[in-house]
Amino acid sequence: MMDSVHAVFSPTQTVAEATAQLRELIKTVFVTYGLVCDPQGRLVGVITTRDLLLAEQSTQLRG
């Protein structure tokens, strides 16, 4: 059985914005990775919490 995905990000979000969003999410759910989806809801990437911790805060998730 698959768990629901709670951490969904836009490719235009910065690492800092995604980290702030995660800070709120982890208060209620366990998160180890997030999905990066375009405006149409298509998956364009996957990001781990480690990726966020090591990335420059101003970097957009689209890479």
Task: Give me the residue spans of the domains in the chain.
Answer: 8-54
- Which amino acid is it at 35? L
Report the pLDDT value the prediction gives residue 6, as an integer from 0 to 100.
86
Q: Which residues contact 29 (CB under 8 A, 6 or more apart)?
A: 6
Q: Mean pLDDT, to the nearest integer, of 1-20?
A: 88
pLDDT exceeds 90 at position 1? no
Going by pLDDT thresholds of 50, 70 and 90, the confidence category of residue 35 is very high
- Whole-angstrom CA distances from 25 to 22, 40, 58, 63 are 5, 23, 21, 23
Residue 13 has pLDDT above 80, yes or no: yes
Q: What is the pLDDT of residue 63?
A: 57
Beta pairing, strands 43-48 & 33-37? antiparallel
Greater confidence, 47 or 3? 47
Q: What is the pTM of this model?
A: 0.85
